[in-house]
Amino acid sequence: MTDELDLLLNKLYRRRNQGTKKSDLENMHRLSILLEHPEEHFPTVHVAGTNGKGSVATKIARGLQLTGAKVGLFTSPHLYEYAERISIDGVNISDTDLCRLLSFLFELCDSKGIPATFFEITTMLALKYFHEQAVGWAVIETGIGGRIDPTNIIAPQLSVITSVSLDHCDLLGNTVELIAEEKGGIIKPLTPIVIGPSVPRATIRSICLAKNAPCVEVTGNFPLYDDENNAVATACMNILNIEDRLIEKALRHRPACRMEIYSDKGPPAVIFDVAHNPEGLSKLFLAAAQLYPHKQMRVLCAMSDDKDISTCMTILAKHASAIHFTKADSPRACAPEYLLQTLQQSTPQSIPVEVNSDVESSMAHALQLATMNNEILIVCGTFFIMSQVHFRS
């Protein structure tokens, strides 16, 4: 990373806690007008959801790319570097373009008095870049929610809500119906929407009826998230008229750290998964148990403090043979001591636990003990430790 880009990203990261409870899209609309509406120059697919939205967005983008289209993909957060959030045909935005566009947007916001947040600037940067590069399609993943998410200035050809469960309750509401209503804010008049099997039907049907938006409901019981994501992505790609043979290829595509298994470096086998809420963790452990039915599961976990920690700890206690709590390098990181305290309050079981705020040494010790005890190691809980522990290919 260049010194200039480092300085610009540090400036951007300082805006992370700005406007987290904003109630409108005023900044985005002002920026869009000043930039002559870059989001209007290419067709889009808009993907929201509690879990699975990054995987579904990636699969759809791959499917569109296989048709010969030039496809932009906007996802978040990143694992290793900021540029991963913005890519075209699988190639991340260059440092040169990042420097140029960040400098331009900071100057624009300062000169016009627009207090744009981290995610607003990131979203507008992606939209401007995709316009400059003349993409044929862009697949846009929301950040949190949908109704007032900065990405919601687009007018997509297709909307998607992958799943709804309790997460970010302080921002979105404390019931799945309220959260579904917020995510349903991406539904546009006359625009088709695909919803996954765990999305509250009545809430979304009501919004679709009011907006005369065709709704495709994916049904079925999918114990494994990848199967559910594939079903949702397939429904989307069918609407986009992608050939079956290309859909089959696209479904094999999956982002890093989503049920990502490394078994050729061991023992032990290591599973990296960014499951960070109760539904995600439950499906992660179910998948791991199906793959390794006779193995005990050692867990390395860090969490953000805005999650349902108590329920997550109950799930860990049910499945883990031992747990290593560590701390992510994030302003929202939960102290590992608090995770231990909550675990002890959540279960009468006595589970071996190690607390170590140093991520690398915690990972090294977890790997050592998993090897000694012939266990699998599951690394989960947050995106923000993966760059330090993931076996990058």
The values of phi and psi at residue 173, to 5°, are 120, 160
pLDDT in tens, 310-346: 999 999 999 999 999 999 888 888 999 999 999 998 8
Q: How far apart are CA 337 and CA 303, in angstroms?
A: 11
Judged by DSSP in three states, 263 sits in: coil
What pLDDT, on the 0 to 100 scale, is given for residue 21? 55
Question: Does the residue 255 lie in any domain?
Answer: no
Half-sphere exposure of 109 (CA within 13 A, CB side): 23
- What is the model's pTM? 0.92
Q: End of a domain among 202, 226, 250?
A: 250
Same domain for 245 and 271: no
Same domain for 193 and 289: no
Same domain for 266 and 240: no
Same domain for 180 and 49: yes
Same domain for 290 and 365: yes
Same domain for 31 and 160: yes
pLDDT in tens, 55-70: 999 999 999 999 999 9
Same domain for 226 and 370: no
Same domain for 315 and 196: no
Tell me the residue range of the domain where 70 lies: 3-250
Assign residue 378 the CATH number of its domain: 3.90.190.20
Q: End of a domain among 224, 250, 276?
A: 250
- For 47, 246, 280, 299, the CA distances from 329, given in Å and listed in that order, are 27, 39, 22, 19
Per-residue pLDDT of the chain (393 residues), as tens digits, is 578 999 999 999 988 866 445 678 999 999 999 999 999 999 999 999 999 999 999 999 999 999 999 999 999 999 889 999 999 999 999 999 999 999 999 999 999 999 999 999 999 999 999 999 999 999 999 998 899 999 999 999 999 999 998 655 455 656 888 889 999 999 999 999 999 999 999 999 999 999 999 999 999 999 888 999 999 999 999 999 999 999 999 999 988 888 999 886 667 899 999 998 998 999 999 999 999 999 999 999 999 887 889 999 999 999 999 999 999 888 888 999 999 999 998 877 789 999 999 999 999 999 999 999 999 999 998 888 998 898 765
Same domain for 139 and 87: yes
Same domain for 268 and 187: no
Structural domain count, the chain = 2
DSSP states of 180-229 as a string? Answer: HHHHGGG--TT--EEE-TTS-HHHHHHHHHHHT--EEE--S--SSHHHHH
Structure tokens at 379: 């690394």
Same domain for 295 and 328: yes
Question: Does the residue 359 lie in any domain?
Answer: yes
Q: End of a domain among 220, 250, 280?
A: 250
Assign residue 118 the CATH number of its domain: 3.40.1190.10
Question: Does the residue 134 lie in any domain?
Answer: yes
Which residue type does 299 have?
V
Question: Does the residue 224 lie in any domain?
Answer: yes
Average pLDDT, the chain: 92
| Tokens 């996802």, located at residue | 75
Question: Does the residue 43 lie in any domain?
Answer: yes
What pLDDT, on the 0 to 100 scale, is given for residue 238? 98
Same domain for 188 and 44: yes
